Structure 1
Amino acid sequence: MPPEPPASSSFAIAVPAALLARVRAGERAAFEQVYRWFERPVFTLALRICGDREEAAEVLQDTMLKVMDRIDGFRGDSPFWGWLRQIAVNEALMRLRRTRQQPDGLDMELHEPADDATPLPPAAADAAILQRALASLPASTRSVLWLYHAEGYTHEEIGVLMQRTTSFSKSQLARGTRRLRVLLEPDARPVEATSHA
């Protein structure tokens, strides 16, 4: 198990200097440990930005390959998790920009298949509703919401990351928040089909 995160970001995992030294020395088991600790945060961030599981898996692989390739460039001026998170964000946004240039757009189907009529437990149902609502937002709006609320980036940082202005980040956050509020209102959600067996 990784150490307990000291901050709100799911990336905020304190990686011991001794473990990083072993990764730098090319020790495979040390890299695998770092990979296991950061696999879920990287995948989740990529999924929220890209909106597609296959794209998120690609971002995870590309991020970890870059971490392994660039570990000697990590000077330790900031926490390792912040350095790794920056690589993951850059990879996800680069892939999002690439996808935006393709005519097909994004696969926004992030929810579970509809053929199972068994009701979800309340917490899981709420999570599924939120996931569907997020998936329905435009990619740039969803990205801003995730970077701001889940990862704690400022509007200025998001503007730089997305190669946009600070006001773009603020307007996307406001627009996304309003849209989510509408989508999450009980009256606005479609009634789930129930089984009459």
Structure 2
Amino acid sequence: MSRSQFAIDVPDSLVARARSGCREAFEQIYRRFERPVFTLALRICGDREEAGDVLQDTMLKLFNHLPDYRADCPFWGWLRQIAVNEALLRLRRQRRLVSEITVDEDDLPEDRGLPPWAAADAALLQRALDGLPSATRSVLWLYHAEGYTHDEIAALMHRTPSFSKSQLSRGTRRLRALLQIEEPIHA
């Protein structure tokens, strides 16, 4: 399992108290992870209402499966995996993945690497991401922000690594077009 750049530490004692049934400890965990789970779900689903549903489903699973947590991996990594699975499950249920993965290749400029993330205004970038098909947006987010490999993304999305690579390439080209980013001239 890859490690997110947004790792969040949680004291082992807090997890132990929540596992033993302490309601206040679970509420503290909820408050600590509510925003990161919602943000992750929003980036994958592209819709605030869907992200709220994913947050709710993730926290219910957390509550029901907290006794199953093994401390041999970081807590946020374990919870993040639940959130990613819930978000992708929601997308699969809506059949968005199948209907939105086709992109007209003639409309896309040639891919020459990663988009210059730091150069784009955050609001403009969010609008551009929202304009992408959910499968493409999910792959972009999982790869660039969460640090998943193509093999891991393929496994999560029940696809092949080639699917992940092609969605990343298409998404990068489409983002560049949506953000109207010109390619640098190589001397």
Pick aligned residue for 2:72 from 52, 58, 77: 77
Please give the per-residue CA displacement for 1:101-140, whole angstroms capped at 9, x wherever unaligned.
Answer: 6xxx9xxxxxxxxxxxxxxxxx9x9111101100111110
2:167 matches 1:178: no
Percent pairwise identity: 73
Is the Cα–Cα contact under 8 Å of residues 43 and 60 in structure 1 kept in the other structure? yes
More helix by share: 2
Which segment is superposed worse, 26-35 or 139-148? 26-35
Q: Which has the higher contact order (CA 8 A, sep 6+)?
A: 2
Divergent runs of 4+, >6 A: none
2:34 matches 1:39: yes
| Structure 2 runs not aligned, ≥5 long | 101-117, 183-187
2:138 matches 1:135: no
Q: Quote the Cα distance in structure 2 between the aligned partners of 1:76 and 1:41.
A: 20
Pick aligned residue for 1:153 from 137, 148, 151: 148
| Structure 1 runs not aligned, ≥5 long | 1-6, 106-122, 188-197
Structure 1 length-normalised TM: 0.76
Is the Cα–Cα contact under 8 Å of residues 134 and 180 in structure 1 kept in the other structure? yes
Is the Cα–Cα contact under 8 Å of residues 5 and 147 in structure 2 kept in the other structure? no
Q: Quote the Cα distance in structure 1 between the aligned partners of 2:140 and 2:61.
A: 26
Count how many residue pairs are aligned between Structure 1 and Structure 2: 162
2:159 matches 1:164: yes
SS of 2:94's equivalent in the other structure is helix
Q: Quote the Cα distance in structure 1 between the aligned partners of 2:40 and 2:29.
A: 17
SS of 2:14's equivalent in the other structure is helix
RMSD, aligned CA? 2.3
